[in-house]
Structures are given as C-alpha cells and as structure tokens.
Amino acid sequence: MRPRRLRESAALRRLVSETRLDPADLVLPIFVREGSSEPIPISSMPGVVQHSLDSVKGAVADAAAAGVGGVMLFGVPEVRDAEGSGATDPEGILNVATRIVREEAGDALVVQTDLCLDEFTDHGHCGVLDPLGRVDNDATLGRYREMALVQAASGSQLLGLSGMMDGQVAAVREALDDAGFAHTAILAYSAKYASAFYGPFRDAVESTLEGDRRTYQLDPGNRREGLREAMIDIEEGADIVMVKPAGSYLDVLADVSAASDIPVWAYQVSGEYAMIEAAAMHGWIDRRRAVIESVRGIRRAGADAVLTYWATELAGWIRKGEAA
Ligand code: PBG
C-alpha cells in the first residue's frame, strides 16, 4: 500500500481533495453601530469594525463581489434597557441596518439577522429576567416573536435564533406563519455552547454581562446534548441548524451533520478569529494557511456553510486559487 502516490503532485492532490472551499458557502457576520458616522475598529478583533449605516453598504458590496453567500447582521444600540426595547423598535439599529443592507444587496447574497436580546439588554442576557433575576424562558419567547416580525418586515431573509431558549424555534415559526411571513426562514443556533471564545464579541457589541450564560447555553463537556438540541430544533421547524463555536466542537458538528436531513452550518466565532490573528501578528503562525485550514477543517467535519469573519478575504483567496 502506497497512499503517498496520490500526494505526488499539486495537480493530483487537487484532483483527490475531499474538501473544497467555495465563497458561496461562507457567511460574513457584520456589526452595525448606532450613532456613528465612521467605522470603528474593534480592538480584540483586528481587521473587524463596527460599521456605520453608511460604511456597511461598502462591506456588503465587497462581500457580494467576492461571491460570499450571505451576511449576518448584528446591531450595536446606543441605549439598552431591561427588555431590550431596541430589538423590537422598527427604528432600532438592527432593523434600520437590515432595510439598508437589503436594499444594497438585492439578490446577490442572503441577508440574515441575529435574533437575540443580548445586544439590546442592559444586563446583557439573551432574554428578559424574572423578579429573582433568572432568565425567564417563556417571557423571552414573547419578545422573540415580536423581534421575528420586525426583522422579517425589515427584509431579513433568514432569522438567526441564537438565544438558546427552549421552544424558540416553534414560537418564532408560529409567529411568522400567523403574520404572513411563511417564506421567512429560520437558522437555529441549536448547539450553542457556553464558550470563552465569545469574549471579543462582547467588545464588538459593547455588551457587559451580569453573571454568565450557563443556564441556557450548553455545557462544553456535553456532546450528546448538542445533537439532542439540534434534533429538537429540526422537529420544531428549523430550516438550518448550527453548531457554535466551531473549532472546539467538531465532534458535535460531525454528529449533527450525520443525523440531520437539513443543512448544517457552523459559526467560527470571535475568539477563534482573534486567536489566529494574534498568533499571526506575532509571526508565530502563517496567517493565510491557518485561516484556510481552520475553515476547511470545519467544512470537513460536516458544515455545509461557515459563518466566519474572514469570509470576504477568504473568498478572494478561493477565487484566485490560493485556498486549496
Ligand atoms: C448572541 C450571539 C453571540 C454571538 C453570536 N450571537 C454572543 C453570545 O451568545 O454570547 C457570538 C459570536 C462570536 O463570538 O463571534 N447574540
């Protein structure tokens, strides 16, 4: 047996490659900040900015020109309160940004929105709190229903349910269907783990969290439970399920991919981005090779598409044939 035969030349290696990257399978997460006229750099995510309502148009145009499959929008509001009112205000930053981006994007890529309260609440939790300060699952579902309708009306084509409340997919699906948005799709962040790798995201959305998210996000030690969450979301009517973070959860991704009959995506999160950027800045790692390998590994494990902050740049490398 000589497996090395197929590694003899670049052309042979390319011909037998099992996992190719395609710009169409990449989704770019984008932050849009209320009240700023210029893009603002995010210190813990070098190369990523909080966009203004003006600069976001250029970012979307660049992503579309590079062939990126979609954008996922996050709003950074100026004012926050206990209920996250900005999330359901049609004039709230995320909803305004969605209308602008949809107009800019046309049908060139899929416009998606984060459906969660943490960017909009003053306590930083993904839901509303009960009088004892616990995240109130069923009261939060009511808020998600309202968010879904405003986001769909603003032109979001795929709602990213990232709050990890029980029953959120069923609740949002019902609200959408009842309001005439049967065509609006749901991306369920099904297996979302309580991860340290979301650290830089807090800077990106300027959110401070009281306590932690462990009563609703998954315990990083639990593999079976990740699969169970995905199966529940499929049952409830999700159109796409997701595993998040990606790199440290490739086993869960492989499990969900094997069991799912709908698309399975993965989110390469802020901390995964920051780690490679930081090591590359020190000259400790080859930046481009590490980026490509990290995303290819996520695809190889079973992700049909990947949310990654490198989407536009990586799409450019792919198109130039530099990402094998
Ligand atoms: C929730 C949400 C978070 C991320 C995406 N959606 C934050 C969290 O759950 O703590 C994290 C993404 C990243 O770290 O890149 N709105």
Protein residue with its CA nearest to atom 14 in ligand 1: 198
Total residue length of the chain: 324
* Per-residue confidence (pLDDT) for residue 312, from 0 to 100: 98
Task: Pick the residue whose CA is nearest to atom 10 on ligand 1.
Answer: 198
- CATH class for domain 19-319? alpha beta
Whether residue 116 has its Cβ less than 6 Å from ligand 1: yes
> What type of residue is 197?
F
pTM: 0.97
Picking from 62, 323, 33, 72, the residue whose alpha carbon sits closest to that of residue 187 is 72
Q: Is 236 in the pocket of ligand 1 (CB under 6 A)?
A: no
ipTM above 0.85, yes or no: yes
- Cα 2 to averaged position of ligand 1 atoms, centre (Å): 45
**Per-position DSSP letters for 2-22, written without gaps between them:** -GGGGGSSHHHHHHT-S----
Regarding the beta carbon of 144 and ligand 1, being less than 6 Å apart is answered no
Quote the ligand 1 centre to 191 CA distance (angstroms). Answer: 13
Residues 178-216 have pLDDT tens digits of 999 999 999 999 999 999 999 999 999 998 888 899 999
Residue 270 annotated in ligand binding: yes
Q: How would residue 120 be classed by pLDDT, with cut points 50, 70 and 90? A: very high
**Cα-to-centroid distance, 321 and ligand 1 (Å):** 31
Tens of pLDDT, residue by residue over 58-91, are 999 999 999 999 999 999 999 999 999 999 999 9
Closest Cα partner for 251 from 314, 197, 298?
A: 298
DSSP string, 198-210: GHHHHHHHT---S
Does residue 180 sit in helix, strand or coil? coil
